[in-house]
Structure 1
Amino acid sequence: MLRRIPSFSRFRRLHHMMGTFSRSLSIRSPSFSLFFSKHCHCSTNTYDTDSHSNGTQFLISMRNLCKSGKVKNIDEALDLFQGMASMKPLPSVKDFTLLLGVIVRLKHYTTAISLVKHIFSSLGIEADTITLNIVINCLCRLKLVAFGFSVLGTMFKLGLEPTVMTLTALINGLCVQGNVAQAVGLVDHMEKMRYPLDVYTYGVLINGLCKTGDTLAAVEWLRKMEERNWKPNVVVYSTIMDGLCKDGLVSEALNLCSEMSGKGVRPNLVTYACLIQGLCNFGRWKETGSLLDEMIKMGMRLDLQTLNILVDAFCKEGKVMQAKSVIGFMILTGEGPDVFTYNSLIHIYCLQNKMNEAMRVFHLMVSRGCLPDIVVFTSLIHGWCKDKNINKVMHLLEEMAKMGFVPDVVTWTTLIGGFCQAGRPLAAKELFLNMHKYGQVPNLQTCAVILDGLCKGNLLSEAVSLAEAMEKSNLDLNIVIYSILLDGMCSAGKLNAAWELFSSLPGKGLQINVYTYTIMIKGLCKQGSLDKAEDLLINMEENGCLPDNCTYNVFVQGLLTKKEIARSIKYLTIMRDKGFSVDAATTEITINYLSTNEGDTRIREFFFPKR
């Protein structure tokens, strides 16, 4: 039942509050008619009503279909609407809103708004709170919250009283749009004026907080609900448990589950799924088993989602036999497996370089009528690329085309990386340049992969030319891209070009990081420019970029190679004082140096002090 505002004075206070709130959030409420004119178009003048002569029977049938959930697609819903719109007299607004609710559940939000416009403007039915609530809900789900506030303003002008559903839809819209802080502000305003909220309102806010990672704030709102004598339902509790698990606070989530059960709220499949996911992520298998036993004792059937969590977790741990056992259980109980299940198994086989096993699973899923998706193909392509088997890769691309799949940017990036690993960087470059022909735009990861492949393939000039073309195309290259080029230049002995590029980075608006500094220091050491490398080491710290273990090791290696023993010991001491340790490369150079007749005793004494 809709909860109405109990007094005209409260209605006026709400009107004033919403105006103040909208201004405080800088929400501009555009003309709602503007939205209609730009986005919503609906025509109902071609409806055939011959089959609906018995209006009463038709309405009874329509109501039963809507309430039973048997309207499965938008075409069926529009047929029903056409029949209603052609009736004389017209059905009540209540019947129209019943059908509109179905269209919203089908997620055809713009269509629902178009039909509301037709109801008001063409059929002459007066607007009411429920219908406008549907419009606000649709707008908010389309992330058009400003238009939602505009409809709220229309409600005030028409003298209609917003309900808790009205404002809850706006709160949800703010959360969906990513403006969770504004949603919190709206709820605070509503509470201050003692506007009646409900469990769903708090649930929407808590869900928004959890989705933005602010789980602790969500817990605070849970406690506020309890203070206001609202009993949180299983959805609210499960949402917070899921957030806690994603934050790594699995024990806290389990405690909250126990608290929930103690208050008489029974956990459901979603509750168990998020807890099992959290436990699996941290390898807490014993507790996972206990939860599964608990589910079975409560008479719950292990659903596909829960079983997929187990398969995926076992695969990530490399426990392939256990994963296959779960899949066997799935088949016995009739719960799948689905494309996600198969992909988990294919992915682990690809990581383990067991490509024949991966392909066997691929053919098995196809034979069982489970069509692979782009993720499955990308996993297999990545596996064959690692195996440097380009023929298999090309065969998979043909299979994709036959099944109607178009490689996405992730697949293209995998392909380009595979050709580079197989020693064919120029072929990889051709793939990169042809991406746009297939409607794909390279991302920064794609750019990094091709440039790295060209540099490592001793094709520095090709890499530099391609990077210059990227800059001219206004691609916003980041420090990772330039670090790849610097590494390629230093490896090729092009120190002057590398130093020129390095010096230009601040002018490009880029912050030089420790990785980039280390590349340059290594290049200078390789050239024998130890003084310049040391100056750069000092300057980086002055610029607020602290050298790390790798930076010091690279510089010490350069010093030891040039037999700069005094400076080597100086920086080895600095490393030790900072808690850093020598790596394998530094150790190898030191051992080789000590094994020669000219080995300096100071190095030996540093590593093996006399007691």
Structure 2
Amino acid sequence: MLRRRTTYVDFFPLFQHLLHHPSSSLSPRYSSSTPKRRELLSSMRDLKTVDAAVDFFNKMAAINPFPNIKEFTVLINLVVKMKHYTTAISLVKRMHSLGIEADSFTFTIVINCLCRLSRTDLGFCVLGLMFKMGLEPDIVTLTTIVNGLCAEGNVEQALGLAMRMDEMGYRCNSYTHGAIINGLCKVGNTSAAIGYFKKVEGRGFKFDVPVYTAIMDSLCKDGLVNEALGLWSEMTGKGIQPDVVTYNCLTRGLFHCSRGKDAVILLDQMLKKGIMPDVHTFSAIVDNYCKEGMIARAERLMGFMARVGVEPNVFTYNSLINAHCLQDQMQDAMKVYDSMIYKGCLPSTVTYNTLIHGWCKIKKMDKAMSLLGEMVNKGLTPDICTWNALVGGFCKAGMPLAAKELISTMQKHGQLPDRITYAIILDGLFKCHFYPEAVSLYRELEKMNLDRHITIYSIMLDGLCSYGRLKDAREFFSGLQAKGLKIDVFTYTIMVQGLCREGLLDDAEQLLMDMEEKGCPPNDCTYNLFVQGLLRRGDISRSEKYLQLMKGKGFSADATTTELLINFFSGNKADNTF
């Protein structure tokens, strides 16, 4: 059974009380002349803040006689539009305490608020209460619950409710069906959304732009941009004009599929139709420039945004910050960060994670830790990506023991380390020559059953090989096969390199053949490492054989192999073996 959150439990005794006590004692009120009353109520539309709305409610409660239920409902609806859902529910409670009976529309507002607060389960409670009170919900009330279920990912339940609505004589409208289609898209079931769309459309329902846009957006996220453009053509062919949201989702999809030229053509069409780009349009273009490494263009576009009155949002800033961090331009990244704060745009967890990772990448751990403190002070909770970036930074900076100590700090902040965290530390301990500590950590992971992943095994195998413990490495590798694990090409390549390093070229060659037999063929890295081993040991004939084999598979010699070949040629100028 679902537990009710304490924030909302207080509202339900109200509705139960409403069922059994339709009216309550009235609070003392002052008399008000009709002109003043009209003047007060007409000023309702000028309210801009929730505090002003609550004050206005108090003034309405002091009028004698009370405004009617419709006038109170208009005010409460204003609070809902401000997205202060708990306040809206509390005003309904106060309205009831004044003896004003709620109607179906008021209950629908309460259900909408609960659904917006992801408490559709409580919305059902209110719906049940409506039936007990003899109030008939309309299609809007029921569609609100359908939409709430879809927003929470309970699309199957929403479909069940829609079927029940039909059985009860409520004819689902395009909004009900649109909510279900949108819900299916949000849970990634695009094919089901399209199927439902076609089925309902076949019954004569006509959908509007948001429904088409939801499906197009879902198709784009699945990488099916051509299908999205096909739906676009179908929509416009029916005379349904796209809006800026439609253009934005298609533009993002085209950029994501590296079809920048097509995205530019689409944006040009958008402008010719008089549809002005919004912050999401500009953000998609800025992000594309950043991913293409054209930071200067991205910055110029952000300057243009300011000139046309479109303020960049956190996603726009994050794209630019990430671009600078990728190029190790941390001072420039921090300038963008300072700019966004100056302009009142609050950084997100992604903002801090990007900056922390950037500083860690260049081993500036004091800067990274300072940002962690700033992040926490601003009320943001570091996630596993934050901590893993810091752990990796300490390892990169040659301080794997400090990285290991960071685990206790993570746990104090309520974040448990995952397998990736331990993998980073284990790799850092080996690479910084803390062999006993690395083996000790691996034993701890075995006890916690966190070792059972090919990544952990590969790091351990590489560590054993790097420290010349080839006998232990071979036993360890055989143990992996005995456990029935699917060994990937990366793990095989580590073993090939270890064998080559010790001059066991025949064994390494046998392992290459085993890889082929077991359906895990060597890749270019595996072959290059083996050829390098052959060249270092002067095994020219076999190196020639494998270089030809590589060529036949479409692989080429890497920088190290090429250097060894050049050294061979320069030392054997008369030899025309190759």
TM bin, normalised by shorter chain, reads 0.7 to 0.9
2:555 to 581, 584, 589: 581
CA-to-partner distance for each residue in 1:205-245, whole Å, 9 max, x for gaps? Answer: 22122223333443343333432222211211222222233
Alignment correspondent of 2:465: 490
8 A Cα contact 1:129 1:161, kept in partner: yes
Alignment correspondent of 2:9: 40
Post-superposition shift, 1:303? 2.4
Q: In structure 1, how many angstroms separate the alpha carbons of the residues matched to 2:5 and 2:86?
A: 9
Other structure's SS at 1:248 match: coil
1:68-147 counterparts in 2 under 5 A?
68=45, 70=47, 72-73=49-50, 98=74, 101-102=77-78, 104-107=80-83, 129-130=104-105, 133-134=108-109, 136-138=111-113, 140-143=115-118
1:412-423 counterparts in 2 under 5 A?
412-423=387-398
1:357 to 1:113, Cα distance in 2 relative to 1, 3 A: closer
Q: In structure 2, how many angstroms separate the alpha carbons of the residues matched to 1:86 and 1:512?
A: 76
1:481 maps to a residue whose letter is I
8 A Cα contact 1:40 1:110, kept in partner: no
Q: In structure 2, how many angstroms separate the alpha carbons of the residues matched to 1:480 and 1:268?
A: 47
1:55-454 counterparts in 2 under 5 A?
68=45, 70=47, 72-73=49-50, 98=74, 101-102=77-78, 104-107=80-83, 129-130=104-105, 133-134=108-109, 136-138=111-113, 140-143=115-118, 161-184=136-159, 187=162, 196-368=171-343, 370=345, 372-390=347-365, 392-393=367-368, 408-454=383-429
Q: In structure 2, how many angstroms separate the alpha carbons of the residues matched to 1:56 and 1:139?
A: 36
1:88 to 1:365, Cα distance in 2 relative to 1, 3 A: closer
1:156 to 1:50, Cα distance in 2 relative to 1, 3 A: closer
1:40 maps to a residue whose letter is V
Q: Which moved more, 1:101-110 or 1:348-357?
A: 101-110
1:460 to 430, 435, 448: 435
8 A Cα contact 1:40 1:113, kept in partner: no
1:581 maps to a residue whose letter is F
CA-to-partner distance for each residue in 1:27-58, whole Å, 9 max, x for gaps? Answer: xxx59xx748895125999x996676659999
Q: In structure 2, how many angstroms separate the alpha carbons of the residues matched to 1:273 and 1:283?
A: 15
Other structure's SS at 2:47 match: coil
CA-to-partner distance for each residue in 1:467-497, whole Å, 9 max, x for gaps? Answer: 4445556768643233223222222223454
1:282 to 1:394, Cα distance in 2 relative to 1, 3 A: same
8 A Cα contact 1:479 1:512, kept in partner: yes
1:48 to 1:259, Cα distance in 2 relative to 1, 3 A: same
Q: In structure 1, how many angstroms separate the alpha carbons of the residues matched to 2:545 and 2:136?
A: 78
Post-superposition shift, 1:201? 1.3
Post-superposition shift, 1:316? 1.3
1:363 to 1:194, Cα distance in 2 relative to 1, 3 A: closer
CA-to-partner distance for each residue in 1:502-536, whole Å, 9 max, x for gaps? Answer: 56668989654333343334334444556766676
1:270 maps to a residue whose letter is V
1:72 maps to a residue whose letter is T
8 A Cα contact 1:36 1:114, kept in partner: no
% of aligned pairs identical?
51
1:537 to 1:50, Cα distance in 2 relative to 1, 3 A: farther
8 A Cα contact 2:251 2:266, kept in partner: yes
CA-to-partner distance for each residue in 1:314-335, whole Å, 9 max, x for gaps? Answer: 1111112321221221222222
Could you say which structure has the greater relative contact order, defined with CA pairs below 8 angstroms and 6 or more residues apart?
1
CA-to-partner distance for each residue in 1:267-310, whole Å, 9 max, x for gaps? Answer: 22212222222233344444444444444444433322222222
Other structure's SS at 2:177 match: helix
Post-superposition shift, 1:189? 6.7
1:125 to 1:474, Cα distance in 2 relative to 1, 3 A: farther
Alignment correspondent of 1:10: none
Q: In structure 2, how many angstroms separate the alpha carbons of the residues matched to 1:509 and 1:479?
A: 11
1:451 to 1:222, Cα distance in 2 relative to 1, 3 A: same
Q: In structure 1, how many angstroms separate the alpha carbons of the residues matched to 2:544 and 2:474?
A: 28
1:495-510 counterparts in 2 under 5 A?
495-499=470-474, 501-502=476-477
TM-score between both structures, scaled by the size of structure 1: 0.73
TM-score between both structures, scaled by the size of structure 2: 0.77
1:493 maps to a residue whose letter is G
Q: Which moved more, 1:107-116 or 1:177-186?
A: 107-116
Alignment correspondent of 1:11: none
Q: Which moved more, 1:302-311 or 1:433-442?
A: 433-442
Q: Which moved more, 1:197-206 or 1:353-362?
A: 353-362
Post-superposition shift, 1:200? 1.0
2:47 maps to a residue whose letter is K
Post-superposition shift, 1:171? 3.3
Q: Which residues of structure 2 form unaligned runs of 5+? A: 18-24
8 A Cα contact 2:30 2:62, kept in partner: no
CA-to-partner distance for each residue in 1:129-149, whole Å, 9 max, x for gaps? Answer: 545545554555555555555
1:453 maps to a residue whose letter is G
1:466 to 1:372, Cα distance in 2 relative to 1, 3 A: same
Q: Which residues of structure 1 form unaligned runs of 5+? A: 1-29
1:325 to 1:200, Cα distance in 2 relative to 1, 3 A: same
Alignment correspondent of 1:479: 454
8 A Cα contact 1:40 1:114, kept in partner: no
1:563-602 counterparts in 2 under 5 A?
579=553, 581=555, 583-584=557-558
CA-to-partner distance for each residue in 1:541-577, whole Å, 9 max, x for gaps? Answer: 7766565554555556656766788987897888778
When the two structures are aligned, how many residues end up with a matched partner? Answer: 566
1:342 maps to a residue whose letter is Y
Q: In structure 2, how many angstroms separate the alpha carbons of the residues matched to 1:555 and 1:332?
A: 59
Other structure's SS at 1:165 match: helix
1:468 to 1:252, Cα distance in 2 relative to 1, 3 A: same
1:38 to 1:268, Cα distance in 2 relative to 1, 3 A: closer
Post-superposition shift, 1:399? 6.1
2:460 maps to a residue whose letter is L
Other structure's SS at 1:308 match: helix
8 A Cα contact 1:49 1:83, kept in partner: no
Q: In structure 1, how many angstroms separate the alpha carbons of the residues matched to 2:350 and 2:537?
A: 50
